[in-house]
Amino acid sequence: MSLTVQRITSRKDIKKFVKFPMELYKDNPYYVPPIINDEIDNFDPDKNQVFQNADCWLFLAYRESKIVGRIAAIINHLEVKEQGKPKMRFGWLDMIDDIEVTKALLAEVRKIGSENKLEYTEGPVGFTLMDKAGMLVKGYDELATMITWYNHPYYKEHLEQLGYIKSAEWVEFKFIPPNPIPERFHKFADLIAKRYELTTLKFKNIKEVEPYVDAMFELLNQTYSNLVTFVPIQQYQIDLYREKYLPFINPDYLECVVDKEGKLVAFAITMPSFSKALQKAKGKLWPFGFMHLLKAKKKNDRAAFYLIGIHPRLQGKGVTAMMFRNVTQNFMDYGIELCETNPELEDNIAVQALWKDYEPILHKRRRIYRKDL
C-alpha cells in the first residue's frame, strides 16, 4: 500500500493529529493522554503566543486512508537568531512500527531545515523548555506522567537505524518518602537556613502564590540556561502557564525560600499525580474528566516533582534541604506513598544528589536525538 505524508493546517486535521497516539496506545496501561482541546490549542497561533517567535509545520502520514504517523517540525527563532543555535526541532513524533513511515516523516522535517539553511535536526522536543521533551528509552512498563511523552521501544530503534545519534539524555527516579522524617533532615535544613539567612514560605491559598509566579519563572531561566533544549521563557508564556496550571496547584505542595530581603531564591513544585485521572478522562474535561482531575488533586497516593528552581549563587549549597523537609512532611500529611522526579540530565550529578537520602530507583530514561542536515 502506498505511503503519503500530508501537511495539515485545519482544526479538523489537527484534531486527528492530536488523537492519533490515543488510538495507537488505546490498550496500553502506561500511556497518559493529553486533554484534546488543550493540545489542539497548542498548535493554534491565535491561542499560543509562542508563535510570535516560532514556526510550526504539522504532518500526518497515511497508508491509503489510514493514519499511520505524525510529526511536528518547529523552528524557534529566538533559539536560532539570538542564541545562535541553527537547530531544526521536531516533536510529537508517533508512528506504527514501520521504519519507512518514520523515515518519511523525518524527511519532511529535514527538508524544511535545509530550506531555512539550518545545520541539524534535534528531537523529540517541543517549542520551548516548558514543553514535553525526550524519547523514552527505558521504563516502558512504567506509568507516564502528565509532563512527559510515552512511546514504544521501536521508536528508538527506528531513529538509530536512520543515523540519528544521542544528543542528550534525561533520567527519572522514583522513591518512597521517608516516614517519619529523619532527624538529620531537620538538623541540616536548620543549619542551611541559619547560614544563608533564608526562610521558607507557607501559603494558605493560591492567591498568596500569585505574586511569586514571575519570580519563579525568572529562577527557571537562571537554573536551566545550560540545557540543550533551553530557550528563555517569555512573559506571554508565563501568563499562559499561570492561567493554565495555577488552579491545579495545591499550595501545600509548593515550597518557596526567600532571602533576608524577601527575594525568592528557590522553589519546588510538587503535585499529586494526574496520570490515572487523565487516563480516565480519555482526553476530555467534560462531562466527567474534570471530576477525575479534582479527585486526584484532593486524594492521591502518588506525587511528582514538577519544577525546581534555585538561584545560581545558592546552587549546591544545600538549600533544597529546607524545601524537601517540608515536602516530605506534606507527603506524610497527604498519604503519599510514592514520588517521582521530573526528568534530569544524566550528567547533572548535583541534582541527582538531591534524592540520595530517599533511596531512589532509576526507573526511566529519555533521550533526544540529532542528525546533521
* pLDDT tens-digit readout, 295-328: 998 889 999 888 888 888 888 788 888 888 888 8
- The whole-number average pLDDT for the span 173-186 is 85
More confident residue, 162 or 252: 162
Q: Is the pLDDT of residue 25 over 90?
A: yes
**Equal fold, 3-167 vs 175-372:** yes
Q: Is the pLDDT of residue 231 over 80?
A: no
What is the rounded CA–CA span in Å between residue 217 and residue 308?
A: 10
H helix runs in the chain, sequence order: 11-24, 36-42, 77, 99-115, 154-161, 183-196, 206-209, 213-223, 235-245, 275-281, 289-298, 320-334, 349-352
Query: Are 50 and 127 within 8 A, CB to CB?
Result: yes
3 state SS of 77? helix
What is the pLDDT confidence band of residue 259, given thresholds at 50, 70 and 90?
A: very high
Q: Is the pLDDT of residue 166 over 80?
A: yes
Q: Is the pLDDT of residue 265 over 70?
A: yes
Average pLDDT, the chain: 90
Classify domain 3-167 at the CATH superfamily level: Gcn5-related N-acetyltransferase (GNAT) (3.40.630.30)
What is the pLDDT confidence band of residue 229, given thresholds at 50, 70 and 90?
A: low
Least confident of 44-58, 99-113, 159-173, 180-194: 180-194
pLDDT at residue 230, as a whole number: 64
Q: Is the pLDDT of residue 232 over 80?
A: no
Least confident of 165-179, 297-311, 349-363: 349-363
Please report the DSSP string for 248-302 in residue order. G--GGGEEEEE-TTS-EEEEEEEEE--HHHHHHHTT--TTTHHHHHHHHHHS-SE
pLDDT at residue 253, as a whole number: 83
What is the pLDDT confidence band of residue 22, given thresholds at 50, 70 and 90?
A: very high
- The whole-number average pLDDT for the span 231-251 is 74
Please report the DSSP string for 138-188 in residue order. E-TTS---TTS----THHHHHHHHTT-EEEEEEEEEEEPPPSS--HHHHHH
More confident residue, 348 or 302: 302
- Percent of the chain residues past pLDDT 90, beyond the cut: 56
- The whole-number average pLDDT for the span 190-209 is 90
Q: Is the pLDDT of residue 241 over 80?
A: no
Determine the distance from the C-alpha atom of residue 300 to the mean position of all C-alpha atoms in its chain, rounded to a whole number. Answer: 21
pLDDT at residue 134, as a whole number: 95
In the structure grid, which three cell numbers stand for residue 100, read together?
519507512
- The whole-number average pLDDT for the span 101-113 is 98
Q: Is 252 exposed, middle or buried (0-12, 13-18, 19+ CB in 10 A)?
A: middle
pLDDT at residue 325, as a whole number: 84
pTM score above 0.75:
yes
What is the rounded CA–CA span in Å between residue 37 and residue 33?
A: 12
Where are the chain's structural domains? Answer: 3-167, 175-372
Q: Is the pLDDT of residue 248 over 80?
A: no
- The whole-number average pLDDT for the span 220-224 is 75
Most confident by average pLDDT, 27-36, 220-229, 344-353: 27-36
Q: Is the pLDDT of residue 237 over 90?
A: no
Its CATH class, for the domain covering 175-372, is alpha beta
pLDDT at residue 178, as a whole number: 83
What is the rounded CA–CA span in Å between residue 289 and residue 281?
A: 4
